[in-house]
Amino acid sequence: MKKLVVLTGAGMSAESGLSTFRDAGGLWEKYKIDDVATPNAWHRNPGLVLDFYNQRRKQLFAVEPNPGHYLLAELQNYFEVEIITQNVDNLHERAGSSYVLHLHGELMKVRSTGIGAEVYEVSTDKIEVNIGDNCPNGFQLRPHIVWFGEAVPEIEKAEHLTTRADILVIIGTSLQVYPAAGLIHNARPNTPIYLIDPHEIENLPYNVTVIKNGASEGLKELKDLLLKNQK
């Protein structure tokens, strides 16, 4: 089976009802990155940061995967699908995708602020994480999220996947945040690249086929195209 590598961003989950970051009305219009998504924010006001992610977690509980997530899971019948997501939600997994690499962390995980940085699943019975919620060694738990200014531990794995892709698909990301945005350049020169987004994305390499549509409709189009090319 051909290897289909998919890079997804916030637009992938928009049709489920989760806000993107940089569209009009997006999260970074409502919150300042410096207040909620940097190591400094955490040191200054951890309660505010925890609260921001508690809200994100509550929203995630209230939404479902959209048809686009399910179409990606269905493509596993025809391709070896590997998803690299910048999203911290778990909608790909809930739709049935079996390989999902989270570049920017996961909302449903927390980790110790102690040296071991042990990672724990957030209990579905108590999805709020507050000041005083500690790891077994007594260190405060923090969101398992890659904040601005932090290293992206999974980037090498993502680069490796992208380089081995037979087909690369990019969905719902403004490609403004590095290093994730640089992955598009790791595809081999003859690898077809498809990009699904309802808005124009700037500075794309010349060999990208753009499907200017939302994730669900765009994936329907792409599925037809890919299966036609398979024959």
Q: Is 182 in the site for ligand APR (CB under 6 A)?
A: no
165/170 with CB nearer ligand APR: 170
d(CA 11, CA 86): 10
* Piece in contact with ligand APR (CB under 6 A), picked from 19-27, 44-52, 157-165, 186-194: 19-27
Q: Is 207 in the site for ligand APR (CB under 6 A)?
A: no
Cβ–Cβ contacts within 10 Å for residue 184, how many? 20
| Residues between 135 and 174 that touch ligand APR (CB under 6 A) | 171-174
Q: Is 197 in the site for ligand APR (CB under 6 A)?
A: yes
Q: Which of 104, 160, 185, 199 is catalytic?
A: 104
| Residues between 97 and 116 that touch ligand APR (CB under 6 A) | 104
Q: How many residues contact ligand APR, by CB under 6 A?
A: 24
Q: Of 74, 71, 98, 63, whose CA–CA distance to 171 is shortest?
A: 71
102/135 with CB nearer ligand APR: 102
Catalytic (active site) residue 104: yes
15/82 with CB nearer ligand APR: 15
Cβ–Cβ contacts within 10 Å for residue 98, how many? 11
Q: Is 5 in the site for ligand APR (CB under 6 A)?
A: no
10/81 with CB nearer ligand APR: 10
Asked if 88 and 107 count as a contact pair (C-beta separation under 8 A), the reply is yes
Options 18, 53, 69, 86; binder of ligand APR; rule CB under 6 A: 86
Q: Is 35 in the site for ligand APR (CB under 6 A)?
A: no
CB of 14 to ligand APR, least distance (A): 4
Options 4, 6, 7, 9; binder of ligand APR; rule CB under 6 A: 9
d(CA 57, CA 109): 10
Using CB under 6 A as the criterion, which residues of the chain lie in contact with ligand APR when the complex forms?
9-11, 14-15, 20-23, 26, 86, 104, 171-174, 176-177, 197-199, 201, 214-215
User: Which residues participate in catalysis according to the annotation?
Assistant: 104
